[in-house]
Structure 1
């Protein structure tokens, strides 16, 4: 079963004020995950949010990936304009073309794009593993970021077809 590390929307925009919770720590963890995946010969797949008129606008500095995790030539980078990379894009076909049947997911924003992509991947029978300590979000008016992350890690772990594990427990 071909596996891939899937990085959702971890772009420079997450460092704009107020920065996502523990953004620097999560960036460091994702950088380490990329190195481990590449060493294991695992493809690294990037999803890049693109929304005109926002900090996610195509071509802007905040739309780009942080230098520490910039895609390499040959990496699959899939743009998206919606919460889910599977909506109105070639993302699913791109995974299938590469034979990817299992994804290890990390990135931003836990309750929006992470959640949408995780649920959609699992519903399409793509074996889905959430890296519990490698995703983040911002504080919201009704709940702070650590609670949002804790809540979603719990929900995903209770769904049956999604595994939730910390980075140091991954098989690569």
Structure 2
């Protein structure tokens, strides 16, 4: 089943069978109070607006049987996969690995490392744990996509200018065509959100395409939208 999405800089065609919905780092440590995002001085409420439109897209993807991949940024308990440049950057109130309100900050297996309840994976959906910003580095992400014959990605999640951008750039270099849903990605900085999206679609789509989630949902079969959250 092939559909065409009205996007910037032009129409984006996708075959549901060879397209994956990628949900990047919608974790409690980034999206809820007490997590790593807040220790860096950020207003985590700015990321909460991503959740309702992303719920609708996720429901439609599930109804169509589309491949869904969730990623989580975080580290093994001894932090051996966390480089010093990342561990010691800035002046957060809590650093990676420190005990926090949701467990050790950005450590795999801790409550804060997991995905928010509203977007929790269901059985059969891939969950890729990554030590860095990009989804390909140090993970099985690329191999999992290849095994499923995926050629196009619908990219969502947080943050727009960091993990989303890094993943889209990595994907672009590997030959994947990416559609970024503008209201399903978020940043702690409104200006970074605006510029980050503009950079993706600039110069005829130098890294990919950008569209609001409504454009994708409009293009999908009506039956796929039945029962999606309103």
Per the TM superposition, whether the score is higher than 0.5 is yes
| Number of aligned positions between the proteins | 166
Residue 22 of structure 1 deviates from its aligned partner by: 2.9
- Once residues 46 and 63 of structure 2 are traced to their aligned partners in structure 1, the CA distance between those partners, rounded to angstroms, is 26
TM-align CA RMSD? 1.5
Aligned match for 2:174, one of 105, 124, 135: 124
Q: Within 5 A, what are the aligned runs for 1:1-172?
A: 1=15, 2-14=18-30, 15-16=32-33, 17=38, 18-51=42-75, 52=79, 53=97, 55-138=105-188, 145-158=189-202, 159-170=205-216, 171-172=219-220
CA distance in 1 between partners of 2:195 and 2:206 (Å): 16
Runs of 4+ in 1 over 4 A off after TM superposition: none
Provide structure 1 residue ranges, at least 5 long, that are not aligned to the other structure. 139-144
TM-score (norm 1): 0.90
* Contact 2:168 2:207 (8 Å CA) reproduced: no
**So what's the TM-score if we normalise by structure 2?**
0.68
Superposition deviation, residue 20 in structure 1 = 3.0
Gaps of 5+ in 2: 1-14, 80-96, 99-104, 221-230
Query: Conserved in 1, the CA contact under 8 Å of 2:153 and 2:176?
Result: yes
Deviates more, 1:159-168 or 1:126-135: 159-168
